[in-house]
C-alpha cells in the first residue's frame, strides 16, 4: 500500500467526519478521492460514489427519522422520478457515452475528462452554497402555497440525471427545492433530502451492476471507514462552530473544483 492509497483511506474518514460535523457536503469529496488518490477511473468512481454516498446518507436519514424530521410524502414524489432517472442514466446513458466526446482546438475531451469537468462544475456550485449560507434567505422566500407536484417531479428527474452522471447526492440542489416548492421547514428539508439522496444513490447504483466490475471488499471497507467518520464527526461537533466549519469547507471545495478543472485541462 503506497502513501497515496493511505491518504485515500484517510480521505474516506474525512468524508464521514465532514458529514458528521456540518450535516452534509462531505460526499462531494468522494469522487476526487477515488480518482486522484485510489487511481480508480471516473466511471467506476462515480458508481462507487453512489454506494458510499447512499450508505452514508441512509445513516443520516435514520437519525432524522427518529427526530420526526423526514417528510415521506414529499420524499416519494421527488424520489420516484429521480431514482428512475438515476438508474436509467447508470444503466443505459453512461455506458453508451463514447470514449471520445468532442474536440476543441486540438484538445480531445474524452468521457473521463468530461465526467470530471462536469463534476468540478458541480463542486463550484456546491462550494458557493456552503460559503454563502442561504438558510434564512430560503425561509424568507418560502410561501404558503399548494405544492406543484408536477414541477417537483420534473426537478426530481433533473436531479436524478445529475446524480447519475457524477455520482454525487446533490443535497445543495434538493434542499432549496424542498423548501421553496414543497414548503418544508429547513430542518425537515435537510432530513428529507438525506432520505432522497439515500434512495437515489443506492437504487441508482443497481444500474451499474452487470456492466461494472465492482471490487466489493474495497468498496465495503471504504464505506465502513466513511460511516465511522460520521460518528467521529458527530462527536467533534460538540466542540466546533458548525457554521464556520461549513464556510471553511466551502472554500476548500471551491479550490478542489478549480484544481480538478486545471488538472483535467492541463
pLDDT tens digits for 95-138? 999 999 999 988 999 999 999 999 999 999 999 988 887 666 66
Q: Which is higher by pLDDT, 82 or 170?
A: 82
The predicted model scores a pTM of 0.92
User: With the C-alpha atoms ordered 111, 113, 119, 124, is the resulting torsion angle positive or negative?
Assistant: negative
User: Hunting for cell 460559503 — which residue is that?
Assistant: 131
Structural domain span for residue 187:
3-265
Mean pLDDT of 182-203: 89
Q: Are 152 and 177 in contact (CB under 8 A)?
A: yes
Total tally of structural domains belonging to the chain:
1
CB 184 within 8 A of CB 193: no
**Rounded CA gap, 266 and 262, in Å?**
6
Supply the angle between the helices 72-88 and 186-205 in degrees, to the nearest 10.
Answer: 30
How does strand 100-104 pair with strand 107-110?
Answer: antiparallel
Q: What is the pLDDT of residues 32-56, one digit of tens each?
A: 999 999 999 999 999 999 999 999 9
Say whether pLDDT at 28 is over 80: yes
Assigned C-alpha cell, 108: 480531445
Q: Is the pLDDT of residue 140 over 70?
A: no
Quote the cell numbers at residue 75.
Answer: 420524499
Query: What DSSP letter does each residue of 158-175 carry, written as one string?
Result: HHHHHHHHH----HHHHH
Amino acid at each position: 500500500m503506497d502513501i497515496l492509497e493511505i491518504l485515500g483511506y484517510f480521505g474516506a474518514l474525512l468524508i464521514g467526519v465532514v458529514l458528521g460535523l456540518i450535516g452534509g457536503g462531505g460526499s462531494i469529496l468522494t469522487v476526487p478521492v477515488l480518482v486522484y488518490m485510489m487511481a480508480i477511473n471516473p466511471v467506476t468512481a462515480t458508481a462507487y460514489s453512489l454506494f458510499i454516498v447512499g450508505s452514508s446518507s441512509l445513516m443520516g436519514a435514520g437519525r432524522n427519522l427518529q427526530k420526526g424530521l423526514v417528510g415521506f410524502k414529499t420524499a416519494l414524489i421527488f424520489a420516484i422520478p429521480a431514482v428512475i432517472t438515476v438508474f436509467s442514466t447508470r444503466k443505459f446513458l453512461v455506458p453508451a457515452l463514447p470514449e471520445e466526446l468532442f474536440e476543441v482546438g486540438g484538445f480531445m475531451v474524452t468521457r473521463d475528462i468530461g465526467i470530471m469537468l462536469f463534476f468540478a462544475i458541480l463542486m463550484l456550485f456546491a462550494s458557493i452554497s456552503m460559503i454563502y449560507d442561504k438558510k434564512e434567505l430560503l425561509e424568507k422566500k418560502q410561501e404558503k402555497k399548494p405544492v406543484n407536484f408536477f414541477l417537483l417531479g420534473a426537478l426530481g428527474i433533473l436531479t436524478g440525471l445529475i446524480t447519475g452522471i457524477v455520482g454525487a447526492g446533490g443535497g445543495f440542489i434538493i434542499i432549496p427545492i424542498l423548501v421553496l416548492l414543497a414548503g418544508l421547514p429547513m430542518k425537515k428539508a435537510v432530513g428529507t433530502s438525506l432520505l432522497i439522496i439515500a434512495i437515489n444513490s443506492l437504487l441508482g447504483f443497481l444500474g451499474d451492476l452487470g456492466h461494472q466490475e465492482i471490487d466489493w471488499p474495497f468498496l465495503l471497507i471504504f464505506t465502513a471507514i466513511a460511516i465511522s467518520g460520521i460518528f467521529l464527526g458527530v462527536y467533534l461537533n460538540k466542540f466546533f462552530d458548525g457554521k464556520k466549519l461549513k464556510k471553511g469547507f466551502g472554500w476548500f471545495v471551491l479550490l478542489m473544483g478549480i484544481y480538478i478543472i486545471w488538472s483535467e485541462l492541463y
